[in-house]
Amino acid sequence: MFEAGADVITLGNHVWRRGEIVPYLKESDRIVRPANLSVRAPGKKLVVVEGVAVINLLGSLFINPPVNPFEVIDDLVEQARKRTPVIVVDMHGEATSEKVALSKWLDGKVTAVIGTHTHVQTNDARVQPGGTAAITDAGMTGPHDSVIGVQAELAIRAMRTSMPVRFETASGDVRIEGVLVECTDDGRATSCESVRVSVA
Ligand SMILES: [Fe+2]
């Protein structure tokens, strides 16, 4: 993904799905892990690349992180502000309410609060009154002819039978989804637009 042009990679609730990431997290300066994991977990809670600070949080609902995201965010924003005025927060969470609440709490303190995790892009990209861009969910880059990326037939079978099913990645209707935020040098957002591009 870095070779494809990504500057920073954020993570989410699958952070420990593959243990091989642990040594990589320790050495990389461009991967930010959820800040509200255990204090004993490896990886960086804040990275700054090309003048942009990036913070990643896990939402509480269903994900049950060890620490509430609101417990850690203020200190992290303070640390980030000492290094750059341009700060992006990726709030990886299930609940729209939690993501909207964080966006409002951080309005005027960071450049953007970008929700992730649900894989379904929301229709609420906006710049809030204090100058913080926000979207509840940036959506999914992957196959949209699917159940959030999984072959639909397999996901439906798992739900209909409540039995374990090995999930396979779908392949149809691949789209890149995300959000485009523009800001001034002092970190105030001037525009926020959701993006969706069909690839195949
Ligand atoms: Fe997730």
The answer, as to whether pTM is greater than 0.85, is yes
71 three-class SS: helix
Using alpha carbons, list the distances in angstroms from residue 92 to 35, 64, 109, 168, 172. Answer: 11, 12, 19, 23, 25
**Ligand 1 midpoint to CA 78 (Å):** 26
pLDDT at position 149 over 90: yes
> 63 alpha carbon to ligand 1 midpoint, in Å?
9
Question: Is it the case that residue 165 has pLDDT exceeding 90?
Answer: yes
Report CA(185)–ligand 1 centroid distance (Å): 31
pLDDT in tens, 30-46: 999 999 999 999 999 99
Mean pLDDT of 78-92: 98
Cβ contacts of 65-68, under 8 Å, gap ≥ 24 = 65/34, 65/36, 65/37, 66/36, 66/37, 66/38, 67/36, 67/37, 67/38, 68/36
Mean per-residue pLDDT, 127-138: 98
Instruction: Find the 119 Cα to ligand 1 centroid distance in Å.
Output: 8
Nearest to 89 by CA among 45, 127, 125: 45
Q: Looking at residue 21, what is its pLDDT?
A: 92
Ligand 1 center to 41 CA (angstroms): 18
pLDDT band at 134 (very low <50, low <70, confident <90, very high): very high
Distance 150 CA to ligand 1 centre (A): 14
Please, which residues have CB less than 5 A from ligand 1, an ion? 12-13, 117
- List, by residue number, the catalytic residues: 14
Question: Mean of the pLDDT values across residues 45-51?
Answer: 97
Asked if 29 contacts 47 with a C-beta cutoff of 8 angstroms, the reply is yes
Strand 112-116, strand 86-92: pairing: parallel
